[in-house]
Amino acid sequence: MEKEPITSQGLINIKKELQELKNIKRPKIVAAIAEARGHGDLKENAEYHAAKEEQAKIESRVIEINDLIARANVIDVTKLEKKDNVIFGSTVNLIDLENNEKKIYKIVGKDEADIAKNYIYFRSPIGKALIGKKKKDLVSVQTPSGEKNFEIIEVKYI
């Protein structure tokens, strides 16, 4: 069973999601299924089939989260020795060398990745390119939209 790195905040977030699934969403869907059953013929009961599909999604996610928690390797970068290199959990300030646009990314695990929050998966093309690099290093990344070039301005362990 391969360990899955996750930040301490990421572990807190998935545990909250698990509690919400078990204590709020699961009981609601069970009630919806019971109500839909009361409507009669299940073969042509769209509400029943939709509720059963939703139940399957919830149960699948519960299993997925439990597996992730069991395999979690929690990494708290605030407690690690401070170096200048990019590691899992670090926050990286970059400059896009094409347009001088500043970007800030936090390197995280799969379940935490959210490009809207600038949280990138450590196994993504950008994540892979950044891991191990240091302040002032130039980084070239192959993305679906072509090659991107960055300079690392700062590495933080926050």
Asked if 129 and 116 count as a contact pair (C-beta separation under 8 A), the reply is no
Same-domain check for residues 57 and 103: no
What angle in degrees, to the nearest 10, is found between the helix axes of 46-71 and 8-20? 150
Same-domain check for residues 50 and 25: yes
Q: What CATH number should be reported for the domain holding residue 65?
A: 1.10.287.180
Q: What CATH number should be reported for the domain holding residue 83?
A: 3.10.50.30
Cα 101 from Cα 97, distance rounded (Å)? 8
Mean pLDDT value across the chain: 92
Domain boundary at 53, 75, 97, which? 75
Kindly report, residue by residue over 36-62, the tens digit of the pLDDT.
888 877 777 888 999 999 999 999 999
- Residues whose CB falls within 8 Å of the CB of residue 100, separated by 6 or more in sequence, listed in order: none
Kindly report, residue by residue over 59-115, the tens digit of the pLDDT.
999 999 999 999 999 999 888 877 789 999 999 999 999 999 999 999 999 989 999
Kindly report, residue by residue over 140-151, the tens digit of the pLDDT.
998 888 899 999
Same-domain check for residues 82 and 124: yes
Asked if 8 and 80 count as a contact pair (C-beta separation under 8 A), the reply is no
Domain boundary at 75, 94, 120, which? 75
Domain count across the chain: 2
Domain that holds residue 105: 78-156
Same-domain check for residues 88 and 142: yes
Same-domain check for residues 137 and 111: yes
Same-domain check for residues 116 and 147: yes
Cα 78 from Cα 19, distance rounded (Å)? 27
Same-domain check for residues 40 and 95: no
pLDDT above 90: percentage of residues in the chain:
78
Q: Could you tell me where the DSSP H helices lie in the chain?
A: 8-20, 26-37, 46-71, 125-130
pLDDT above 70: percentage of residues in the chain:
100
- Residues whose CB falls within 8 Å of the CB of residue 133, separated by 6 or more in sequence, listed in order: 85, 86, 139, 152
